[in-house]
Amino acid sequence: MKKFGLAKLRLQFQIIYTIITNGYVYGFFTGKIYKGPLKYACVPGLNCYSCPGAIGSCPLGALQNALAKNKVEVPFAVLGFLFVFGSIFGRFVCGWMCPFGLFQDLLFKIPFLHKRKRLPGHNILKYGKYVMLFGLVILGSLMLLGGFVKSPAFCKYICPSGTLMGALPLMAANADLRALAGGLFGWKLAILIVLTLVSVIIYRPFCQYLCPLGAIYGWFNRFSLVQVHWEKEKCIACGKCQKSCPVDLKPEEISVSPECIKCGKCATVCPADCIHFPAKR
Amino acid sequence: MSRQSKKIPKWIWGVSAGLLLFVAGFATQQYDDIYNKAIMICLECIGIG
């Protein structure tokens, strides 16, 4: 695996995954979305179901929609998807199966003078994704924000994936939707532009600081099936793994930390062969 | 067989819980809700709702 080039394999996997899960090409030309039976199921990553190419449902959008219903009920179906995906993959979903993660990965490849792994104040800012999860996704959907109708607050006010994958291609192909764009669209477009610019300098700022789905999968990271395994006894404490880690994790934090996206870079650089990805079982 | 080797990994409990939730979701027809939302253009998601 190491000689094969895990980074290249991951990039290829991300691209192929994104193409397959957004493979309804007809939608991009007509400004319409897929309405087939695959939309009964959620995809693992943050993938707006209003993307013209999307063939599955967004788990975060579906969760908010369930919570925003007038008659509140436990969203069993969406939680089922999240438990299954989370228990098997953890944040491997973020590293390998999220179109918006791929978008940020590609932006970070653009050459820039001062690349940084984290924003200043990272240890506080990293809790932003939990604020998004509990504040906007859960409470925001349950409460009547901005009027008398419940709405999926994170999708409505923040989600840059919806703007990038849903709004922009739909509006490009659909003049009626273009005519409806107003202040809210401008706000969401501004968020997308800021995140796009910051992603050139900082590694995956949305995933590290804002993504509620990452917060959910981070909870599963410690015990998910897909793991990066570190053998403490064999470690020579050279620090190469932390240096290569895109989110700057220490070896003892790898895989168990809610921040680890299981990209596997640490395993490819370890000279002592004490980091294994996928973990030996 | 040692006690350690008998221990069921936590991820299996997680997947099992997920499958139970799937069944509960099916019983309460929540998949229809997911589908009905996903086949309409979500105006909130694209910033015009």
Using a CB-CB cut-off of 8 Å, the residues of chain A touching B5 are none
Tell me what pLDDT residue A170 has. 94
A170 contact B CB<8A: yes
Tell me what pLDDT residue A210 has. 97
Tell me what pLDDT residue A244 has. 94
Average pLDDT for runs of 10 along chain A of length 281 = 76 97 95 95 95 96 90 91 97 97 97 93 96 92 67 91 95 92 94 97 97 97 94 94 95 91 94 87 58
Tell me what pLDDT residue A5 has. 86
A11 is written with which tokens?
Answer: 């990039």
Using a CB-CB cut-off of 8 Å, the residues of chain B touching A151 are 44, 49
CA distance A107 to A113: 14
Assembly ipTM = 0.89
B8 contact A CB<8A: no
Helix locations, chain A, DSSP H: 6-21, 25-30, 59-67, 76-89, 92-96, 99-108, 122-125, 128-131, 140-142, 153-157, 160-161, 168-173, 175-180, 183-201, 205-209, 212-220, 240-244, 265-269
A177-216 residues touching B, CB cutoff 8 A: 177, 180-182, 184-189
pLDDT tens across B1-49, in order? 555 567 899 999 999 999 999 999 999 999 999 999 999 998 888 988 7
Using a CB-CB cut-off of 8 Å, the residues of chain B touching A155 are 42, 44-45
CA distance A243 to A246: 8
